[in-house]
Amino acid sequence: MEKLARRNKAGFYQSEYIVVNTEKYRGKQNPKCRSSWEHRFCFFLDHTPQVKWWDYECLTIEYYSPIDQKIHRYFPDFLFNEEDNSGKSRTFLIEVKPQSQIKPPKESKSSRGRRTYIYEAKTFVINRLKWEAAEIYCKKNNYEFKIVSLVKQKGNEIWKAVSLSQI
């Protein structure tokens, strides 16, 4: 279920996810998703039996940016706990990103492509700084940090999770 989606300035669809399994959701209000992928991940968490509880943008992690030499705040997308078939419980901190933003950008020779490359490189560096701060936070709190993407595999869409060390 969702409220009417709208596009933000970057062209991504934003919508409110209406939580179905309210006993699993720890947030105070329904998540206001910043992308259709975040909305789909809410659905995944809400309807996966192994997920015992979940929350959306519930943590604030500070990180330092050498680009502007300031401390910034990072709000990772999801925090959730799952229990496997053996009863082992794990807590994950998740950032949902497209594959194109997980890998360093490729340099271009054209002037327009060069501007795009500079923007994408700066975005990648900032994301990397956020993820490194998240990794430190997770180690202190016995969580696992993953960056998740929706990818097509054999005609199906699946969630692919990678750790920071895999990037």
Per-residue pLDDT at 9? 60
pLDDT at res. 11? 58
Please answer whether residues 56 and 69 qualify as being in contact, where contact means their C-beta atoms are separated by less than 8 angstroms. no
Domains of the chain: 6-166 (3.40.1350)
Between CA 160 and CA 40 the distance in angstroms is 13
Return the pLDDT at 1: 43
Question: How many Å is the maximal CA-CA distance in the chain?
Answer: 56
Residue 10's pLDDT is what?
Answer: 58
- How much is the pLDDT for 53? 98
Q: Give the containing element (helix H, strand E) for 81.
A: strand 78-83
pLDDT of residue 112: 79
Q: Cα(18)–Cα(39) distance, rounded to whole angstroms? A: 10
Using alpha carbons, list the distances in angstroms from residue 139 to 32, 91, 133, 144.
28, 11, 10, 7
Mapped onto helix, strand or coil, the DSSP state of residue 15 is strand
What is the distance between the alpha carbons of residues 150 and 15, in angstroms, rounded to a whole number? 18
Q: pLDDT of the chain along its 167 residues, tens only?
A: 445 456 656 555 789 999 999 999 999 999 999 999 999 999 999 999 999 999 999 999 999 999 999 999 999 999 999 999 899 999 999 999 998 899 999 988 887 788 889 999 999 999 999 999 999 999 999 999 999 999 998 989 999 999 999 98
Cβ atoms of 30 and 16 closer than 8 Å = yes
Torsion of CA 70, 124, 96, 28, to 10 degrees: 10
